Amino acid sequence: MEPLMAVSIGVLFACAIYMMLRRSIVKLVIGLMLLSNAANLLIFSTAGMERGRPPLVPEGMAAPAGSVADPLPQALVLTAIVIAFGVLSFSVVLLRRAWEVVRADDLDKMKDTDT
Amino acid sequence: MSSQIALPILIPLLSGALSLVFWRFRGMQRFIAVGGTAALLLSSIWLLGEVNAHGILVSQMGSWPAPFGISLVADLLGAIMVLLTGIIGFAVAIYSLATIGRGHEAFGYFPLMHLLLAGVAGAFLTGDIFNLYVWFEVMLVASFALLILGSEKAQMEGAIKYVTLNLVSSVIFLIAVGLLYGKVGTLNMADIASRLAAMEGDGMVDVLAMMFMVAFGIKAAAFPLFFWLPASYHTPPVAVSALFAGLLTKVGVYALYRVFTLIFHHSPGYTHEILVWGAGLTMLSGVLGAAAQYEFRRILSFHIVSQIGYMILGLALFTPLAIIGGVFYIMHHIIVKTNLFLISGIVHRLRGTYDLKKLGGIYRRYPWLAVLFLIPALSLAGVPPLSGFFAKFIVIRAAIEAEAYGVTFIALLVGLLTLYSMIKIWAEVFWKSAPEDGDTDPYPEISHREVWLVAAPVVALAVCTLLIGLNAEPIHALAEASATQLLAPERYIEAVLGTSQEVQP
Amino acid sequence: MIEFLKQGLILSGAIFMFLASLGLLRLPDLLTRMHATTKAATLGATLIMLAVALHFTQVAFVARAFGVIIFIMMTAPVAAHVIGRAGYFVGSKLWSGTVKDELRPNYDPLTHELKSGLDTEANARCKPKPGEGDTH
Amino acid sequence: MVRSGTLILNVAARFLLPLQLLFSLFLLLRGHDEPGGGFIAGLVAAGAFALYLFAFGLGALRAMIKVSPRDLVGLGLLFALGSTLPAWWGGEPFFTSQWWTVPIIGFKASTPLIFDIGVYLVVLGSVLTAITALMTTDRDPDA
Amino acid sequence: MIGAAWNLLLGFAWVVLTGDFSGSNLLAGLFFGYLVLALLQPQVPALQGYAQRLPRLVGFVGFFVKELLLANLKVAFDVVTPPWYMRPGVIAMPLRAESDFQIAFVANLISLTPGTLSLDVSDDRKVLYIHAMFLDDEEELRRGLAELERRALALFD
Amino acid sequence: MTSVILLSLVLMTLALCLVFARLFIGPSLPDRVVALELFSSMIVGIIGVVAIATDVPSLLDVAIVMALMAFMAAIGFARFLERGGPRDD
Amino acid sequence: MMQLAVLSGFVLAAFAPLLYRWLGSRTTVFLALYPAAIVVWLLAQWPSVVGGEPVLLEMAWVPGMDITLTFLIDGLSLLFALLIAGIGAFVLLYAGGYLHGHRDLPRFLVILIAFMVSMLGLVLADNLVTLFVFWELTSITSYLLIGFNHTDLSARKAALQGLFVTVAGGLALLAGLVMLGSAGGSWSLVELTTRGEALREHPLYTPMLICLLLGAFTKSAQFPFHFWLPNAMAAPTPVSAYLHSATMVKAGIYLMARLQPSLGGTEAWVTILSLVGAMTMFTGAFLAVRHTNVKKLLAYSTVMALGTLTMLLGIGTQGALVAFVVFLLAHSLYKGALFMVAGILDHETGTKDVTAMGGLRTLMPVTTAVALVAALSLAGLPPLLGFIGKELMFESVLHASHFTLLLLLLAFAAAFLTIAVAAIVALRPFFGEQRQTPHVAHEPPAAMLLGPAVLAALSLLLGLMPGGLDGLVQAIVVGIGAPEANVHLALWHGINLPLLMSLAALVLGWLIFRRWDRLRARLAYLDPVIARGPEAGYDAIMVALVRIAEWQTRALQNGYLRNYLAVTLLVLVGLVGHAFFFRHTPQFDVSISVYLHEAVVAGLMIAGAVTACLMKSRLAAVAAVGVMGFSIALTFVLFSAPDLAITQLLVETLTVILLVLVLFRLPRFANLSAPSERLRDLVVASAFGVMVTLLMLAVLGGERLPRISDYMVENSQPLGHGHNIVNVILVDFRALDTLGEIFVLALAAIGVYAMLRFHAAEGTGRLPTRPRSSDDGE
Ligand code: NA
Ligand code: NA
């Protein structure tokens, strides 16, 4: 499954980047969403994927019998998902405020702060 | 007892949480701002003292032995950076009392400031690569929020670029961490280092090094990844600019130092050579960017970029002397650059603009401010005997001794152009007479209390600059000790992993 | 026996789900599509959860399986109502085969008022015009 | 004017809210042993309030939860930070977990649980802060 | 409501008394509680009609599942066969239900029943607008809907 | 994994594809929202089957959350439409 | 500790304004005591130094960097220090009169004293770095002095020019000093003197020499860097008298003399120094006669003198070194005096134009006398010290080993032009018919006359009794590289070639003086040529600098986010790609086991993402992203991550809600990019995607190490008391991550709240805002 995921994640990243390179801020935000999702999947699948063995210790046991999916990347991804959610909600609102202030969805019209 | 390493992180976190709880109580927030940053400063002084006395300190969070839990590690570089964070935090907190508008205070300025400091301190102290990512994000989101506080048009435009490019950097970092974990199965930096050392010859190490280089290069605003910085740093309230200017990019630089001395130091002929070129181009493009500007804060912003080049150069040359120079440069720069931004804020307060063409006459009206400007400005340009001179001198000496003549030339040229920029500000803002007929001042008089609040941090930082210059020996000794540690990663690894047996819970 | 029942439930649930998706794809207008989704998917999920209840015999898991059934039955119609209503009111086109529409005359798109129409029974009985609904 | 909700939605919200909140507490408390925990539980609770918000509007939500969501955030952060301190008090590194058994009911209290409660409150408070802020400005046109 | 609360209370009391905190024991407690309440019902006015609800509920669920399955098959048949046999339309159904909860309950049940979908309730809460898929026999449909409403409301008596 | 379960899984994921096709085609926003809503309902079913197939009851919690919360997305969309968002958007 | 005594001058400088508040116009007298005391101290070192025993006062500064505050007092530094402190004292007094009542006098004194101390430090320092420190300080302080009339644009420009040129040279000097220190293995001048042999054979000798000389040449206004010096006459005259005659410009000369024993004598040294020096000498003298401004005349003649000194160092014979010392001293004395006279003229008449003055001898007889004596020394006429210097100069040029004829010609030309300058300066204002000047001239106050009078008198005295200098000159000459010397200075050497040359020069010079006005008119034809000289080069560089800067900014910081992004990503792909293909041998282990439904889920994920890109409608794109999110959740379900699946779908749901709430306000998608742009972006995006895929495959296929998570799996229950390992990691093993993460969430919430409400609150005026105290980001 991992090689298939590698390709899928590549496509996801490509989509994300493509969206971010557009001039519309809305597309930029959608690109950011795709980007963080792709990164999370990458962490998840690069560590190896395991079918049907969630990292849970059965009731009454000290450790799972046999191998389980690596819990650490899962915890990392969980953290990353929540962080991405926070960042994304911020960006979404930022884009709305930017639209209200600049009155354009066109990023090319937002270059006053550079020279 | 090294558990207190966490204090410089927990104190600002606590201050931030408390100011959040006291959201509606302005006085309380201001009190926490001063008290919290003062406590941070004290704890960071203590930490540096401890590290200086006892070597690298390690604390295993949750008592989980390394590499399984998260280790906080304070080596000299980390402790120095934390101390600088404390200094800058305290200075900016005082300055903010006078300059931050009520609106900003009412909408979370102080909690955001505390949490920014927490993120920065966390990044300096963590010994875990993913935890570093988390602190980066804390710092980043705090900076996002500080950047947009006020919702001006320019802030929004700047913030979009800032946010986007920094998020890209975070994602690159995250990808690199994911791949690294997949490869070596650990997150503890010391453990990564020792495991990668065992894998030497596997070219993936260099590939991952490139990812980290770009990720941190963006954070550090290195060429050609710095776009977000000049686009945004001049837009928020000046206390925020000062905080950013002093600390944020330096976290990127710190991360480069950490990673490229501890983890990716096996093929410096490849990785560090790229860094050399990056450093040279960063210096040059930053300073040229500044030469094209006529706005106080924009000039200063571009100079952050160019100075970052010097710091990276110290790392890139990768000789003991160069690392000393780099560390010295970081110490000097954080103080000086923050101070310059604070001064730009005072000028703005007095004259209502940052535009050099509209400014003037400050030298005549406020000679004390002129002197206060000259100290950091000349220090930034590397004029002796101020702090910047020694920083530049060591780096250049290292470059010449490493026979990197091309980059030496750039470094010297950039020094000249930096002076040119500072002199431009001096001539336009201070010497030139004010454009609309000299001494008529349409701006409200600055109150005594305000003067004290804005001048105290500026004076204190200027005194630091002078002291670092005139009494360079202790700072140099510190930088030297820090460089020795950085160039002996096995000591770091030993400190982190070696203690793991004793703290077994 | 239980194994056989379980497999039957799973398969039929899967089939209903497939039918739901087919319906969604094939049916001609929003409201008819919603019929397919709300019921068939709910039924499919219910059947599968029954299989789950048979599979995991512990009470806690059986309870959870029934919990899923109950929750999905509570939420699916609400979602359908909300979407259907919104879709209708913003003017989704009705299928040309639609035989009547007793709502249209009682709805004021400007005020979003929806009358019962009981006072003017005649209105309620009026014939629908096929294809209308996009007059916003 | 647009009504904040329909009758059907309102009834559903009124029924689902306690259900979802209860479920979120359930997820929170047994998250240490089964899927769940502070984040997930906080997100579920936030979703529950969001539903209520959509159905009854901002005023009703404010009347119901009384405290400002922002204060929930602050409180949660203090909880989470506070949970790290007992270990320090006992001379162990921060975050070292402490376990106590509550005498009568046999419930196992622990710093990780307090920490998770902090996480729960922060997640809930943050999401609600964002959503209510968005809804508020949605009110007055062109605010 | 009071009946249900009592039942719950008795169930928990059972659990505590037996000292067995498993789910099955709670079920048992609830069942015994129900029995007790059914016995007490004639004496206590507040519990009026409580015991009758359970059989009604069981009957209703059976009715509902039957409807659900049959009508689903009808829709499914139409979906898989190429031509459309359906004759959709929106009808107004006068409501007997009065409280918000009752109205919503009826509306959701109608939505879950294949072939019908509650769109909205009129502002005066007298009429439920329903989208129906098979209006071949409108009167039959209206009768079916009324029957559903009646059975549902009976649960509240 | 028995063939029935595998068949069911394939059937349901293919069903997801059909749903996605509707989402892609649209044509109006409500159509897409319906598709999304159905998508999430189907996932509940799939989770149930996977739970049986892998013998992991913990997955039921995922299904419960899905059943309880996923319809919120539809409610959000509906709100957008009701507040005057363009329906073809 | 004498070092600190000298450097305490900086503190004295800082207190000058305070002193001025107490002492008023007597401040300068008081302050002059400081250099006077230093003179006394220096004179106390005289016997030892002249006795061939240099004084070395050791003191540490930054031992870690081998930087010391050690003072080296040998002949050379003693002479320079005496000149600096001595003339400094007079200049202070003079400034008190010249700027009497000027509101910026206190500030002026601050900088002047700081400059003086820096200059002293420069010549006394034994450590290369310390020398450089003071070197740069003189540049900065002189910048502030040149720009004293800071509201005047031309003064600011001149100051910048001086600074830019000298600091540019200073940076080259720094590089040179570093090379010198590294090559010589020491940072001490004394020690380096003994290592000349090794240094001259060091591979870095030539670059080192060039760098050091660049520093010296710019500071000492050597051709082609001479232009800044005349422009620096924008400074008040005391500054010119001090900096541009006696002290700062001689720093470069000092440095070259210092380095003579370590680096001198090579082919490169002789060639560069004598040619540049001679060229400077001639250029200075020639350009001088074009001017009527008395300060410019003197400034160019200073350029000429500096050139002469450089040339003499280049010639490097013992005679040349003796000539160097005498010429140096003579020049300092007469030029200091003449500048102060020029200042008196300016101050008293209100003009600097010599053609506007005339017949002042009756109004200011003392000044006239002083001017005459100093000018005679400038012209190199007996019996003044300048005469001895010039004769010795001619003598050593005649014995130069290289370019003898060329040097001789240029030296002769410079000599007669200088005589003309001397005549113009000393005769034109004071003799001839009296002219109307802006002020009615009269003798200046004594404070202003004292300095020039003493300096002129010294010129005369030392000319008459040069023997008193023998010891010092000998000490210096031995110190700077003559193996052994036996110096006897005398006014009269009999009739020899140099004397004849002097006579010829006198005649020619006189002729030029007589026909000066016509000559000036003729020379005006040369203006376009001169305008294309080095100064034009400087201007061009400054213009080019700004142009390049602006071009670069337009090219890089162009404001287009997508360009920034594309560049950033391409850099990443380029660097990573290079490392991947050239540093690493990829091994892809593509064994794949996939169930159909898993593949379908992955496909749906991709389909959702691609659809999100293709959709013309925003909400449809959001829905497509939702599909992707749900598919990811399903992937988590299929691959044993229930916690992740729950989180993912909750987050996905809330994100949709959030997006929908926000998008409601936003405009629809507009198609803004051209097809070519889209293609370009597609290439960038694909490159990134391919990179990620390849990296993942490489990691999956390569060697992999055991995981730390095994420990967590083992210990989650026994030590962490939890059955859900992921949760135990989140709240225990890696609780610090989680703590950071909830702060991120909290921060995002504050940010969102502030963004939405701050603005709203301001709009309704509910917010108490102080005017102007909150910064606006203009
Ligand atoms: Na959890
Ligand atoms: Na059909």
**C57-74 pLDDT per residue, tens:** 787 888 889 889 989 988
Which tokens sit at B373?
Answer: 């400007």
Contacts of B49 (CB under 8 A, 6+ apart): none
With beta carbons less than 8 A apart as the criterion, state whether B177 and G737 touch: no
Domain ranges of chain E: 2-47, 52-154
Residue G570: exposure state from Cβ atoms within 10 A (0-12, 13-18, ≥19): middle
- Which residue, B6, B168, D83, B287, is CA-closest to G569? B168
* Beta strands C113-114 and C107-108, pairing class: antiparallel
Q: Which residue type occupies G648? A: Q
Residues of D in contact with F76 (CB under 8 A): 54
Most G-contacting residue of A82, A102, A115 (CB-CB within 10 A), to test interface = A82
Q: Please check whether residue G731 touches A, CB under 8 A.
A: no
G293: which DSSP letter? Answer: B
Q: How far is CA E145 from CA B493, E77, E95, in A?
A: 75, 22, 10
Q: What is the distance between the alpha carbons of residues F54 and F56, in angstroms, rounded to a whole number?
A: 5
CA distance B315 to B312: 5
Q: Which residues of F touch D51 (CB under 8 A)?
A: 72, 75
Tokens of B251: 């976290």
User: In whole angstroms, how far apart are CA E40 and each of B293, E5, E48, E120?
Assistant: 89, 15, 10, 41
Residue B498: CB atoms within 10 Å:
13
* Joined tokens for residue F20: 């996605």
Give the nearest chain G residue to D117 (CA atoms). G731
User: Given a cut of 60, is residue B504 above it in pLDDT?
Assistant: no
Pick the ligand that lies closest to the CA of residue G732.
1
**Closest CA relative to residue C77, chosen from B112, D12, G467:** D12
Contact B390, B476 (CB under 8 A): yes
Confirm if D76 and G742 have CB atoms less than 8 A apart.
Answer: yes
Determine contact: D30 vs chain E, CB below 8 A: no
| Structure letter (DSSP) for residue B188 | B
What integer pLDDT is reported at residue G769 of this predicted model? Answer: 39
Q: What percent of chain B has pLDDT over 70?
A: 96
Helices (H), D4-104: 7-29, 38-65, 69-89
- pLDDT means per 10 residues in chain F (89 residues)? 88 94 89 91 93 91 91 86 61
Residues belonging to chain D? 143
Tokens in use for D66? 């009384």
Per-residue pLDDT reduced to its tens digit, C2-41: 889 999 999 999 999 999 999 999 988 898 888 887 888 8
Distances in whole angstroms, Cα of residue B493 to Cα of each of B480, B490, E127, G707: 19, 5, 75, 18
> What pLDDT score was predicted for residue G775?
35
Q: For position D109, what pLDDT does the model report? A: 81
Which DSSP letter does residue B248 get?
I
Is the predicted pLDDT of residue B491 greater than 50, yes or no? Answer: yes
Per-residue pLDDT for C134 more than 50? no
3-state secondary structure of E96: coil
Residue E132 parent element (H or E): strand E127-132
What letter would DSSP give residue C107? E
CB-based contact, G59 to chain B, within 8 Å: no
Asked if F44 and C68 come within 8 Å (Cβ–Cβ), the reply is yes
Print burial letters for G500-539: b (CB count within 10 Å at least 16), e (below 16): ebbeebbebbeebbeebeebeeebeeeeeebeeebbeebe
- Give the pLDDT of residue G768: 40
Of A18, A61, A114, the CB nearest to G685: A18
Q: Which pLDDT tens digit goes with each residue over B412-471?
A: 999 999 999 999 999 999 998 888 654 445 567 788 888 889 999 999 999 999 999 999
Tokens 């085969």 found at: C97
What is the 8-class DSSP label of residue B446?
P
Distance from the alpha carbon of residue D42 to the mean position of ligand 1, in angstroms: 10
What gap in Å lies between CA G237 and CA G352, rounded to an integer?
11
Q: Average of pLDDT values for B83-101?
A: 93
Q: What is the pLDDT of residue G204?
A: 92
Give the CA distances from residue G763 to residues B106, D135, D140, G757, G759, in Å, rounded to whole numbers and listed in that order.
15, 17, 11, 10, 6
Give the pLDDT band (50/70/90) at residue E56. confident
Q: What is the largest CA-CA distance in chain G?
A: 115
Neighbours of ion ligand 2 (CB under 5 A): E 78, 81
G754 touches chain F (CB under 8 A): no
| Res D4: pLDDT | 57
Q: What Cα–Cα distance (Å) separates residue B479 from each residue in B324, B325, B326, G353?
A: 5, 8, 8, 57
How far, in Å, from the CA of C30 to the mean position of ligand 2? 16
Does residue G429 sit in helix, strand or coil?
coil
CA distances from B256 to B216, B301, B313, B485, C33 (A): 6, 20, 11, 15, 56
| Residue-level pLDDT at A115 | 61
Extract the tokens encoding B204: 């993936």
- C-alpha distances (whole Å) from A32 to each of B162, B343, D131, E43, G746 are 13, 37, 20, 66, 20
* Residue the block writes with tokens 């990768």: B318
**What does the pLDDT read at residue B442?**
59
State in Å: Cα G348 to ligand 2 middle: 115
pLDDT given at position D1: 35
* Both tokens assigned to C94: 């009705």
pLDDT digits (tens, 9 = 90+) for G57-114: 999 999 999 999 999 999 999 999 999 999 999 999 988 888 888 888 889 999 999 9
Q: For chain D, which residues score pLDDT lower than 70?
A: 1-4, 105-106, 137-143
Write down the pLDDT at residue C129.
41
Nearest ligand by distance to the CA of E85: 2
Q: Which residues in E58-83 are b (16+ Cβ under 10 Å) and which e? A: eebeeebeebbeebbebbbebbeeee
As for the ipTM of the complex, it is 0.93
Nearest-angstrom CA–CA distance, B205 and B200: 8
Q: What is the DSSP string of chain A?
A: -HHHHHHHHHHHHHHHHHHHTSSBHHHHHHHHHHHHHHHHHHHHHHT---SS--SBPPTT-SS-SS----HHHHHHHHHHHHHHHHHHHHHHHHHHHHHHHH--SBGGG--SS--
CB contacts under 8 A, D 10-29 vs E, are 10-12
Residue G220: name the closest of G193, G255, G251 by CA.
G251
Integer Cα distance of B246 and C60 in angstroms: 56
B102 vs B390, more confident: B390
Q: With a cut of 50, say whether residue B502 has pLDDT above it.
A: no
Measured distance CA(G310)–CA(G274) in Å, rounded: 7
Question: Cβ contacts (< 8 Å) between C36 and chain E: which residues?
Answer: 75, 79
Q: Over chain B, what is the mean pLDDT? A: 91
The distance of B400 to chain D (nearest Cα, Å) reads 46
Mutant choice from F39, F68, F75, F88 vs G, greatest count of G C-beta within 10 A: F39
Cα radius of gyration (chain C): 20
Q: Is the per-residue pLDDT at C127 higher than 60?
A: no
A near F: at least 3 beta-carbon pairs less than 8 Å apart? yes
Q: How many residues does chain B have?
A: 505
Question: Can you tell me the mean pLDDT for A60-86?
Answer: 92
For residue B90, CA distances in Å to B97, B238, B462, E78 come to: 11, 15, 14, 74
Between D and G, how many CB-CB pairs are < 8 A? 140
Q: Which residues contact G550 (CB under 8 A, 6 or more apart)?
A: B292
Interchain CB contact of G601 with A (< 8 Å): no
* Architecture label for domain E52-154: 2-Layer Sandwich (3.30)
Q: Which amino acid makes up residue C24?
A: L
pLDDT of the residue at G761: 62
List, for chain G, all residue ranges whose pLDDT scores fall below the cut of 50. 764-778
| Residue B447: partners with Cβ closer than 8 Å, 6 or more residues away | none
Query: Positive or negative CA dihedral for B329, B331, B337, B343?
Result: negative
Given CB atoms, is D77 within the 8 Å cutoff of chain B?
yes
* Terminal C-alpha separation, chain C: 57
Q: What is the biggest distance separating any 2 CA atoms in chain A, rounded to whole angstroms?
A: 66
- CA separation for the pair G701, B86 (Å, rounded): 46
Q: Rounded to whole angstroms, what are the CA distances from B192 to A70, B122, B345?
A: 18, 19, 44
pLDDT in tens, E15-54: 777 766 666 677 777 887 887 777 777 767 766 777 777 7
Q: D17 with D64: CB under 8 angstroms?
A: no
Least reliable range by pLDDT among B194-208, B332-346, F16-30, G453-467 = B194-208
CB atoms G754 and B378 under 8 Å: no
